[in-house]
Amino acid sequence: MDFQNKKVQLQDLGAKDYKDTWDYQEELFKGIVDLKIKNRREELNELTPNYFLYVEHPHVYTLGKSGDFSNLLLSEKQLEDKGATFYKINRGGDITYHGPGQIVGYPILDLENFFTDIHKYLRFLEEAIILTLGEYGVASTRSEGETGVWLDVGTPFARKICAMGVRASRWVTMHGFALNVNADLGYFDNIIPCGIRGKGVTSLHVELGRPIDEAEVKEKIVKHFASLFEAEMV
């Protein structure tokens, strides 16, 4: 690509239903893909936009396209009793939970504006979270063969603090990461998170023993994201 747009439009959607947010993601995603097709077809060089959405979902369980439904340990009635919803979606990965106290980030990027490497993209997302947690004195890392960000990998106390699942088509990304900041971890007891048995889940407020300022965490993530991707957040 001759021209690259390094600007990323940051939008904080606040508290928003999962399905409504997914529809919005699809709309932005389709807009970028359609523009790329038009550019190619008509030999244009219109810049493609990039977005970074922040959102907090009401209690919801989502299952990725390679996921196993049996990793949800609740009946429809039990879901209802917990005030939770369930969706099967088109990202990679297995089952995960989203809810209040969790910072969810959905970068919808045209990677041709940055680099065309999905593996590198995932590593950069993980790195933005690892660097953010480091600012709180929490040492985190990757776990080989498993996406996301973990604490105490290689010990019996390994626990996941940030889940990731993305979809990409024509180098355009959607879905993203979910970082537990002040999350109610009891909701994870109703699933086998990401299909991985015997590994715990944690939240930043549990690790630090105090409530965490989520706005501050969001600022730190964006700062590291911008630095890693050499992006300008607007």
Domain ranges of the chain: 7-233
Tell me what pLDDT residue 1 has.
Answer: 44
Strand residues in the chain grouped as ranges (E)? 7-15, 51-56, 60-63, 85-88, 95-98, 102-108, 141-143, 146-151, 159-169, 172-180, 200-201, 232-233
Establish whether 101 is an annotated binding residue: no
Asked if pLDDT for residue 124 goes beyond 70, the answer is: yes
Q: Is residue 229 part of an annotated ligand binding site?
A: no
With tokens 């001759």, the residue in question is: 2
Confidence (pTM): 0.91
Active site residue 194: yes
114: annotated binding-site residue? no
> What pLDDT does residue 64 have?
79
Q: How distant, in Å, are the alpha carbons of 13, 27, 98, 118, 132 from that of 31?
A: 19, 6, 26, 20, 31
Q: Which of 76-80, 86-90, 217-221 has maximum average pLDDT?
A: 217-221
- Quote the pLDDT of residue 107: 98
pLDDT at 88 over 90: no
Name the band, by pLDDT with cuts 50, 70 and 90, for residue 213. Answer: very high
Judged against a pLDDT cut of 80, whether residue 94 lies above it is answered with no
Predicted pLDDT of residue 151 = 97
Pick the CATH number of 7-233 from 3.30.930.10, 3.30.390.50, 1.10.1050.10, 2.60.450.10: 3.30.930.10
Q: Sign of the C-alpha dihedral, residues 141, 143, 144, 146?
A: negative
The span from the CA of 83 to the CA of 81, in Å, is: 5
Does residue 98 have a known ligand-binding role?
Answer: yes
Q: How confident is the model at residue 75 (pLDDT cuts 50, 70, 90)?
A: confident
Q: For residues 200 and 180, what is the distance between their CA atoms, to the nearest angstrom?
A: 13
Q: Which of 31 and 157 is assigned the larger pLDDT?
A: 31
Q: Mean pLDDT: which of 4-8, 60-64, 66-70, 143-147 is highest? A: 4-8
Work out the mean pLDDT of the chain and round it to a whole number: 91
Which residue carries 């045209």 as its tokens?
110
Q: pLDDT at position 198, please?
A: 52
Cβ–Cβ under 8 Å, residues 85 and 59: yes
> Percent of the chain, pLDDT > 70?
95
Amino acid in position 234? V
Do the Cβ atoms of 180 and 203 come closer than 8 Å? yes
Write down the catalytic residue from 108, 183, 194, 204: 194
Task: Flag whether 154 is marked binding.
Answer: no
- Identify the band that residue 92 occupies on the pLDDT scale cut at 50, 70 and 90: low
pLDDT band (50, 70, 90) for residue 59: very high
**What pLDDT shows up at residue 49?**
98
